[in-house]
Structure 1
């Protein structure tokens, strides 16, 4: 593939990633996808960029995932294409802190977090917001941590707005996370209302325990799993704010 190395390097520089960071991210993907063939070494990528070597579809898929390339941008790596990686919007860089003032990313942010959600006072109790067609993907919902809900403080403050992935409802075991920032946070429905926090299941999957943050003053709470409590989904994003 003529000049593909130049295009790949341009995409990597656009994202402000080092060769070693690409290797580390590809290693995580190889582990998640269960195939060591997805791992990309820093030395191999360096040769591809310098010598314009060809690469397999497997390697292209990994690099597209690491660089966040769309299908059109992937085609831009092919010869004679008019879509170049450098045309990717600057706001997509994961290693840069940017103020979202314009562009597609700013527009998507406003879809999932309208101004009204930010300016209105949060409710007293944790609440699941109504579905609004066309604003966010159908398997996502939004919720607000109530003013009286201190379960995850100080990590997630009362009044925060959360984005919930309803396709991820399985309670993760202890081996699936390493620390509190890696530990899944769940949004749940009980007979008396909504709650959010870390969760544990007993060995028989009969009882679900809501675990507060270690610095919170809240205590553990327990319900019969799928009889007294249901998992709405896993928290995928958090907008934290202060309220009067």
Structure 2
């Protein structure tokens, strides 16, 4: 049986060697320090919180967090509130107007890659998640979503012009692995046409696709110097998923700065 939030708080207090009286006195000092009587936590309320399932309000959570030397988010976690889940939950609240985002300004304990496979080559299109050998935690927003269920992330190689100019070399991709079925029709423009992330025996490819009679054709953008390719499906090529998001710099992309060959004349 899992512990309740109050039981977690009681165990934490006892591990620190604090009595209820110690906690009350410390909370009273906090109330005086900040001139806020709501920060005071009397013994009777501590007992109710620990044994009767009474929920502490935000003021008392602040006091307990300060007294126990634990992050406020950790105490909220005792009650099932996961602050690091905010990025994946944002889609539940659709805000119609453009706005600044600060929901994770002070986010903690987010997963980031700390050891990357030395074979990682930025010139080649890659499944980024597979190149990460070790994860760590640092205060950085959103990066924990690299571990989001159902999605993987990819990097378009600095020499990969397959979807140029819609997707530039050096772009980061978000790939929805639950949408791996190839759609052969139904779009009205190239911007609506699904783009897929493909894994072959030798490399990864980001491109439009067409599937027919067990043959998977990757179709580059018409302005790209890349050529269509045909693979047996699924023996030679597997559809990892559909591109649902990108992070791409605009306006300052130059081949020379990225260490790639000059763009072919027909692209000028």
- Structure 2 distance, partners of 1:113, 1:184, is 29
Output one character per residue of 1:136-159: Cα deviation in whole Å (capped at 9) or x when no partner.
Answer: 421110000001110111111010
Q: Per the alignment, do residues 157 and 122 of structure 1 end up closer, same or farther by CA in structure 2, a change over 3 Å counting?
A: farther
| Equivalent of residue 217 in structure 1, options 212, 215, 225 | 225
Q: Which residue of 2 aligns with 1:96?
A: 97
Q: Which residue of 1 aligns with 2:123?
A: 124
- Structure 2 distance, partners of 1:225, 1:207, is 6
Structure 2 length normalisation: TM-score? 0.47
Output one character per residue of 1:179-207: Cα deviation in whole Å (capped at 9) or x when no partner.
Answer: 111111100100111111100012x2x11
Any conservation in 2 of the 1:126–1:194 contact (CA below 8 Å)? yes
Does the residue aligned with 1:163 lie in a helix, a strand or coil?
Answer: strand
Where structure 2 has 5 or more consecutive residues not aligned to the other structure, the ranges are: 1-89, 136-143, 259-268
Q: Which residue of 2 aligns with 1:172?
A: 183
Following superposition, which runs of at least 4 residues in structure 1 exceed 6 angstroms of deviation?
111-114
Q: Which residue of 1 aligns with 2:153?
A: 142
User: Which structure has the higher relative contact order (CA within 8 Å, separation 6+)?
Assistant: 1
Q: Which residue of 2 aligns with 1:184?
A: 194
Any conservation in 2 of the 1:122–1:147 contact (CA below 8 Å)? no
Alignment pair present for 1:207 and 2:215: yes
- Two-structure CA RMSD over aligned residues (Å): 3.5
Output one character per residue of 1:119-172: Cα deviation in whole Å (capped at 9) or x when no partner.
Answer: xx9701000012688534211100000011101111110100000111111000
Any conservation in 2 of the 1:122–1:144 contact (CA below 8 Å)? no
Describe how 1:49-64 pairs up with structure 2 within 5 A: none
Q: Per the alignment, do residues 182 and 113 of structure 1 end up closer, same or farther by CA in structure 2, a change over 3 Å counting?
A: farther
- Structure 1 distance, partners of 2:196, 2:106, is 26
- Structure 2 distance, partners of 1:194, 1:214, is 20
Report the count of equivalent residues: 146
Structure 1 length normalisation: TM-score? 0.51
Q: Per the alignment, do residues 113 and 222 of structure 1 end up closer, same or farther by CA in structure 2, a change over 3 Å counting?
A: farther
Larger Rg: 2
